A and B are shown apart, each in its own frame.
Chain A
């Protein structure tokens, strides 16, 4: 067999095999589980063992997840009920970084939540989905990195105020057997706290606290999400928060009038 014939055969096999496998696999698994989807994402959040469950301190406005809350202020540039902070230091600000690590999302239960009703697998469901949404939202602005280093930010995010919802109906449990939860996760009043820190030093470069009342309909019930209508509200919320993070980054990247003038004067093609 000549080299060219071998290359052609190799090319055919390379194209044919994934196609056959994908069709076979699709027949076997009608609905891919959220775990599978999460683990294949860039900067993916691994299994539920990484989800550290904490409780929202009673009577406190914030969870304590962020390194610093003192600089947070309402942001008129964002159409949100959000508090934000962007470091304006000439040497260390968002413009000085070009890549990002997205940490696994942490979960803070509501102060009065009954933790015992939340099984291990339930802890990671929303967190993993939100992590993936965050990676998708930020990666075109800040390529996702695997390890800390100079010019690399670390995005830390937490879902705050997660509560244990009602018991899952027997019909829904049977619909996706192993994937079903015993209790839904209520995210009706969940908020998000996130911050961007220098991946080497841990210094806070930007932060955002966002609250959005999703109402009583926002529940995560079934890991496979196949028959839970309430998942739609949660799904929208996670995607929405991820978009808020991207909007926040975009707004922080906008040039001030002075900087825009200087950039315009400075730029000359070679």
Chain B
């Protein structure tokens, strides 16, 4: 018995060497240093609007993240301090990359200029606004949008967004149910015209502190803006992450957007309020 146990320990040590080595592989890649909010909402190119969004929301309290230029993957970092001052800029990043959990354990971060990214590098795509202007698959886009809209377990506390880059679909947003993250990917993967899927949907913590804020935020908005809520859903989405509140969706006028902001500012315990509601203009076009 003792011999078997010793042999097992030895074998396990040998096996673990390979696993640990694989887990600790260091990657170096160009990335855009973004705020958590803009990275999960503005899936388009790195324009001056995007940079402004990143810097403003970061200044207002949103955490910093990295967006890997080659595939638009959003990565949480282990040390915010290393990238805090670079929000809104491009950087060359080295660290242990964990693709499955969307994390990178930073080792080095160096600011770079866009011109330093070689021509032909996949990262160039994210910098080129023309990549996103061509909607060459409107039917595919509409099918994806419709399927995501019909997901059954989407509550007022989930918001899933997406963008298309050629046949690559980038899913993003936040959800309180882990299964929504995988379900969103599963329901669109067989749609004709969908190739690669990058899944940046963030699963939110369900701690009691955030739960109280969620309930209070919904009650506050329902009390004054009840027409945007119905039995099984709402036009307004309330995202709560570690005390920060992001409110999304479309309202009819600026007054409703302002009311939402005022009501949410009165919620006890909420750290930062990000009022990103869009206003539907008289022509039906939405404004941010």
Contact = CB atoms under 8 A, between A and B. Distances in A.
B145 interface: yes
Interface stretch (A8-16, A116-124, A171-179, A219-227): A8-16
Nearest to B6: A20
Nearest to B175: A98
A270 B41 contact: yes
B56 to A, nearest CB: 16
A266 interface: yes
A173 to B, nearest CB: 30
B235 A20 contact: no
B13 A12 contact: yes
Interface string A243-257: 000000010011110
B42 A270 contact: yes
Given A95-B232, A99-B206, A269-B161, A15 B150 contact: no
Interface residues on B, range: 35 or more
Interface in B189-248: 206, 208, 211-212, 214-216, 222, 229-235, 248
B23 interface: yes
B187 interface: no
B155 A98 contact: yes
Interface of A: 8, 11-12, 14-16, 19-20, 23-24, 88, 90-91, 93, 95-96, 98-99, 140-143, 145, 147, 149-152, 250, 253-256, 259-260, 262-264, 266-270
27 contacts: A8-B20, A11-B16, A12-B20, A15-B19, A16-B9, A88-B231, A93-B232, A95-B232, A98-B206, A99-B206, A140-B177, A140-B178, A147-B208, A250-B152, A254-B152, A256-B232, A259-B230, A259-B233, A263-B232, A264-B146, A266-B149, A268-B250, A268-B278, A269-B145, A269-B160, A269-B162, A269-B163
Nearest to B146: A264
A20 B12 contact: yes
Contact of B211 (A95, A150, A269): A150
B179 interface: yes
6 nearest CB pairs, A to B: A150-B215, A16-B12, A267-B149, A15-B16, A269-B161, A11-B20
B177 A15 contact: no
Contacts of A141: 153, 177, 179
B15 interface: yes
A256 to B, nearest CB: 7
B75 interface: no
A2 B230 CA distance: 59
A149 B208 contact: yes
Residue of A11, A98, A141, A253 with most partner-chain B CB within 10 A: A98
B115 interface: no
Nearest to B161: A269
Nearest to A267: B149
B5 interface: yes
Given A23-B8, A91-B222, 14 more contacts: A11-B23, A12-B17, A16-B12, A16-B16, A93-B232, A99-B176, A254-B152, A259-B232, A262-B233, A263-B232, A266-B249, A268-B145, A269-B148, A270-B276
Contacts of A152: 211
A143 B286 contact: no
